[in-house]
């Protein structure tokens, strides 16, 4: 009689995952450890950022400087265009076109030229000429003979000699036309003014310099710049600690996703931060400065306000770009399915726009530049969850 092989005893789910369960207190302890490690890494990287804080401030100022340059350049061009239109309607010619003005502002890098910007002023040409003539030196001209009485022009010395003339030949000497005051008979009207473009390098324009209103504000900005460096450099370590805390609450067969998703998480974070810096800052600033131009109020940005703006947008973009990875992770551990994502896409898009309004300064441009990429990333997350091999 042959022995019947015994069937393997099947463990239930309770026995299979007993060694992976954690109490609520153990979860809190794991959270405390991960947060402490993340903070230590952030502090160490921030200390290193103190040594390059000056360079970071220059990099941060670059988008604002470009936006201010476009603002003032556009304002000067509009003013000149309006004046040129008035001159053409009156039948006068203009000295130069807008295209010629813009050509001057473009530097020749091969010659080491700097980028220029102009300010538009109006002067009276005749008065300006008379003023310049009055500033000419009154010394002897080249070729003049010097006498005890003073310099005498050699070419006119013969005319200066007394002539044998009779009283009847005497003539009244008329005063020279330029001996009269140059501006005596001038009419100062708007039509008689001529534009004067005052060019200077952008580097020396005080309008592009960020203002500090407090004594300690610059020092605070330097510390915040170091904090930006610390946050970027330590982000791999911080993300690692976050994923470690998430992995502590997962089963063993699910923890492998932590190590797979960590590199993609970092890549998406840096992609979001780079998108904010390269493609969002200047359009948002241009949009905001358009209100200054329409109201006739010149912008006077403060360094502390601008740095807070710089910190908010890249971090918001970096965190929000984690969306497809979070969706894939939730699908892999069984919390959501592809069908659930497809059925609730309208609600997801609404939530994306609400979150974009919270994470940005709430102007239309920044909301648009965050919400639209996130909408595409949402559907990209659905494709990842559906087609990525399990």
The tokens for 148 are 């005890």
Q: What is the per-residue DSSP string for 266-316? A: HHHHHHHHHHIIIIIHHHHHHHHHHHHHHHT-----BHHHHHHHHHHHHHH
Q: For each successive 10 residues of the chain (390 residues), what is the average pLDDT?
A: 51 49 75 88 89 81 82 83 82 80 75 76 80 72 48 43 44 43 56 77 76 77 84 84 76 71 82 85 82 81 76 80 86 85 91 85 78 90 82
Instruction: Classify residue 195 by its DSSP letter.
Output: E
pLDDT for the residue numbered 178: 47
pLDDT on residue 44: 92
Distances (CA, A) of 244 to 167, 241, 256, 258: 118, 5, 11, 7
109/10 Cα distance (integer angstroms):
76
Distance CA 378, CA 376 (A): 5
Q: Where are the chain's structural domains?
A: 211-387
- Token pair recorded at residue 146: 């010097």
Report the distance separating Cα 372 and Cα 152, nearest Å.
82
Specify the pLDDT at position 347: 92
């Amino acid at each position: 009689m042959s022995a019947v092989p015994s069937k393997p005893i099947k463990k239930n789910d309770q026995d299979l995952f007993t060694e992976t369960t954690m109490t609520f207190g153990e979860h809190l302890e794991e959270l405390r450890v991960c947060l402490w490690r993340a903070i230590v890494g952030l502090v160490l990287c921030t200390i290193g950022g103190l040594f390059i804080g000056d360079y970071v401030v220059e990099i941060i100022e670059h988008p604002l400087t470009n936006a201010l340059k476009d603002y003032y350049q556009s304002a000067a061009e509009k003013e000149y265009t309006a004046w040129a239109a008035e001159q053409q309607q009156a039948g006068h010619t203009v000295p130069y076109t807008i295209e010629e003005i813009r050509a001057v502002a473009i530097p020749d890098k091969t010659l080491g030229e700097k980028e220029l910007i102009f300010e538009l002023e109006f002067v009276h040409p005749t008065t300006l000429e008379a003023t310049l003539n009055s500033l000419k030196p009154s010394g002897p001209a080249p070729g003049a003979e010097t006498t005890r009485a003073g310099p005498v022009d050699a070419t006119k010395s013969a005319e200066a000699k007394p002539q044998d003339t009779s009283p009847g030949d005497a003539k009244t000497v008329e005063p020279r036309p330029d001996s009269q005051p140059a501006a005596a008979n001038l009419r100062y009207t708007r039509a008689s003014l001529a534009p004067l473009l005052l060019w200077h390098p952008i580097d020396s324009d005080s309008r592009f310099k960020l203002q500090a209103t407090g004594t300690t504000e610059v020092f605070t900005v330097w510390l915040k710049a170091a904090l930006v460096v610390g946050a970027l450099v330590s982000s791999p370590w911080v993300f690692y600690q976050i994923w470690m805390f998430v992995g502590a609450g997962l089963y063993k067969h699910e923890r492998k996703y932590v190590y797979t998703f960590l590199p993609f998480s970092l890549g998406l974070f840096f992609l979001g931060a780079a998108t904010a810096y390269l493609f969002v800052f200047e359009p948002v600033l241009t949009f905001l400065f358009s209100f200054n131009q329409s109201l006739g109020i010149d912008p006077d940005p403060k360094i502390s306000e601008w740095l807070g703006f710089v910190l908010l947008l890249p971090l918001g973009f970096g965190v929000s770009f984690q969306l497809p990875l979070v969706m894939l992770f939730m699908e892999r551990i069984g919390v959501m399915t592809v069908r659930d994502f497809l059925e609730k896409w309208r609600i997801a898009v609404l939530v994306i726009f609400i979150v974009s309004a919270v994470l940005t300064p709430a102007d239309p441009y920044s909301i648009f530049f965050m919400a639209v990429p996130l909408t595409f990333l949402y559907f990209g997350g659905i494709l990842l969850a559906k087609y990525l091999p399990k």
